Amino acid sequence: MVKMERADDEPIIDYELKAQFMAFAFIGIVEWWMRHQMPHSTQFMADQVRNLFEKNQVYPK
């Protein structure tokens, strides 16, 4: 198990759990978008997902 660590070596988040979270979040939002007849453009959705991940620090900048 690989963990992200803070400067003081305290574990933050397991990488595998983070990867699973990102994958399911992405799949979930694409599923929602499709079930709702794709109410937004692909560019809008890509921007929204990127913003969600960046602002919630799901992936580093």
The reported pLDDT for the residue numbered 48 is 93
Residue 25 falls inside a structural domain: yes
Residue 45 falls inside a structural domain: yes
Residue 13 falls inside a structural domain: no
Residue 3 has pLDDT above 80, yes or no: no
Higher pLDDT, 40 or 52: 40
Residue 11 falls inside a structural domain: no
Query: What is the model's pTM?
Result: 0.67
Rounded mean pLDDT, 17-27: 90
Residue 44 falls inside a structural domain: yes
Residue 3 falls inside a structural domain: no
CB 42 within 8 A of CB 30: no
How many structural domains compose the chain?
1
Per-residue pLDDT band for 13 (boundaries 50, 70, 90) equals: confident
Residue 2 falls inside a structural domain: no
Write out the residue range of the structural domain in which residue 47 sits: 21-56
CB 58 within 8 A of CB 19: no
